[in-house]
Copies of this chain bind each other. A is one copy, B any other.
Amino acid sequence: MDNGVLDSLITENDTKILFLILDGLGGLAMEGHSGTELQVARTPNFDALASRSSCGLLTPIAPGITPGSGPGHFALFGFDPIKTNVGRGVQEAAGIGFPLEDKDVAARFNFATADKDGKIIDRRAGRISTEENQRICEKLRQNIKLDPEIKIFIETVREHRGVLVLRAERLSGEIKDTDPQQIGLFPLPPEPICPEAVKTAELLKQFITQAQDILADEEKANILLLRGFAKNTGFSSMEERFGLEAVAIALYPMYKGIAHLLGMDVIPDLADINEQIESLKDNFEEYDFFFFHVKHTDSRGEDGNFADKVKVIEEVDKLLPDILALHFDVVVVTGDHSTPAKMAGHSWHELPVLISADTCRIDPVAEFDEISCIQGALGHLYTKDLMTLTLAHAKRLKKFGA
């Protein structure tokens, strides 16, 4: 839906919307199991909810396209994920709450291990501890010497992961990754993709050369691999776009970061899903839109662990009655992309989705899984259209045309 048209249809209401997002929810049948993770999981509560919902299947980006977590979530929040693909660096910076300025260029980095020739032998530096990461970042900060006009920020994320931010006028994010994504190769130079990025690339070369010297005496973390160079192009908030006071109830930096970029409030310092549910209850009166993110469905899928992904789904199912007891006007359950244990990674497969609201058309779907949802009233939708449909059920959209 064209944004200008949608803008003109937004209307205020005090209805409350829950997006319960199980990361990597969609799956595949796998040898030794009688169906997909969702089919195998015992989910009486999701099934009961599906029975009184409209169900369907979501394509996150386009048929056959496997989404990263960023595009998968941007689509959920009503963006065209192809046009608004935000750089990983910006996502990661937002994820640790780094206050990016418009002129900044951010990149995600990994500490990695190179052999004496400089070839990569471990892209994650043996997954060094977060404390070790912090020590090495401080060492870099103390010793890097660039043009004093350039401000540089080297920030720990967790384990081997960090964020680099350069702050200066006329920087560009149009820089190629230095991470070749494979061991046995040399790190790549930070090549400019367009003429405007030549200066930024030069600066990065100086930084990388100095960093390599500074890290030379480290046993594991002796090089840096950079990727996802990007500037923060700026996004309108959920409030500006949809008139929604939105809050993110998530455990992981990446998802908090995306929420922060979209102007949602982010509940800090939640330790586990039980604390997430308590936070949902505590904040129920304060917000219109609740982005409740469950990470472990994806993590167990990424591990290739079918049985444990099933367990995570069953755990969430047990907690569902507590969530529904809050009586949201619209409840949406889905994921950002599929992560079938069989593939041990993200995939392009469609995601089951349900919308529960007083205005939903009840279909015959009585089990919440990828196969049952084929019979659903929603049919096959693009994820980017889910938000508009949700706003309609929340009675937050006016009629188009007379």
Residue numbers of A with Cβ under 8 A of B are 1-2, 5, 9, 28-29, 36, 57, 61-72, 81-82, 85-88, 91, 108, 227-228, 340, 342-343, 346-350, 359, 361-364, 370-371, 374-377, 379-381, 385-393, 397-402
Contacts and interface: CB of A to CB of B under 8 A. Distances in A.
Contact of A66 (B361, B381, B392): B392
A392 B64 contact: yes
Contacts of A389: 63-64, 348
State the majority secondary structure of interface residues on A: loop
Contacts of A61: 400
Contacts of A88: 401-402
B359 A363 contact: no
Contact of A377 (B87, B363, B371): B371
A29 B51 CA distance: 14
A36 B359 CA distance: 12
A347 B374 contact: no
A380 B402 CA distance: 25
B66 A402 contact: no
Nearest to A27: B361
Given A82-B5, A380-B379, A362 B29 contact: yes
Nearest to A380: B379
A385 B340 CA distance: 22
Query: Taking each of A65, A70, A362, which has the highest tally of chain B beta carbons within 10 Å of its own beta carbon?
Result: A65
Contact of A397 (B36, B65, B359, B379): B65
B1 A401 contact: no
A376 B399 CA distance: 28
A380 to B, nearest CB: 4
Given A61-B400, A65-B397, A374-B379, 12 more contacts: A1-B64, A2-B82, A29-B362, A64-B389, A66-B400, A68-B401, A68-B402, A70-B402, A85-B400, A343-B359, A346-B399, A374-B375
A62 B371 contact: no
Contacts of A64: 1, 385, 387-393, 397
A57 to B, nearest CB: 7
Contacts of A5: 82
A63 to B, nearest CB: 4
Given A2-B82, A62-B1, A371-B363, A57 B388 contact: no
A21 B342 CA distance: 30
Contact of A399 (B2, B68, B381, B397): B68
A10 B86 CA distance: 20
Nearest to A54: B349
Contacts of A81: 400-401
Interface centre among A1, A69, A228, A393 (most CB of B within 10 A): A1
A297 B289 CA distance: 35
A400 B71 contact: yes
A206 B127 CA distance: 76
Nearest to A60: B400
A388 B66 CA distance: 11
Nearest to A349: B361
Nearest to A4: B82
